[in-house]
Amino acid sequence: MPPHMNDIMRLCCEISAHDQIKVAVKNSTKGAMVAGGTAFLGGMLCGPPGIAVGGAVGGLLGSWLTSGQFRPLPEILMELPQNQQQKLYTDIVAVLGSLDWTDVAQLLALVMGNATLQQQVTAALLNYVTKELRADVRYQD
């Protein structure tokens, strides 16, 4: 990763840790597999009515299985693939505008010392998480 991208990722992790943000990323593939599998099994065992019953039961089971567990946002950010990190980087750099920094410590000081800028970065981060990752967001109580 380029140095500035590392700085931005670290900034996002620090802000989300500071605000104690947790997210649950929805795993729709697993839910779809469960729903489809039970519909198939119901069809094999009971024909067309079994497909309907199996699909309904599988949909409920799949929904229950994929009701994500909330994890700290910094943990999820560090697991993002390179292309998703690049998208987040682009979104955050757009908020930072022409802000110039030399290292991550200076970037953190600049952003955390400016309440408006911190709010804008947090908003961009949460927008990315909800739109791109389709995650549910929760603040620590």
Distances (CA, A) of 34 to 24, 31, 47, 49, 72: 19, 5, 18, 18, 27
Distances (CA, A) of 36 to 18, 39, 47, 64, 115: 41, 5, 15, 15, 48
Q: How far apart are CA 63 and CA 31, in angstroms?
A: 6
List the Cα angle 75/105/124 in 5-degree steps.
Answer: 50
Q: How far apart are CA 85 and CA 128, in angstroms?
A: 10
Q: pLDDT in tens for each of the 141 residues of the chain?
A: 455 899 999 999 999 998 888 887 765 555 666 778 887 887 888 888 888 887 788 777 766 665 656 788 998 899 889 999 999 999 999 999 888 899 999 999 999 999 999 999 999 999 999 898 888 888 765
Instruction: Give me the residues paired with residue 72 across strands.
Output: 22
Instruction: Give me the residues paired with residue 114 across strands.
Output: none
Supply the pLDDT for residue 88. Answer: 95
Question: pTM above the 0.75 mark?
Answer: no
**Six-digit token string for 88:** 């987040």
Supply the pLDDT for residue 1. Answer: 46
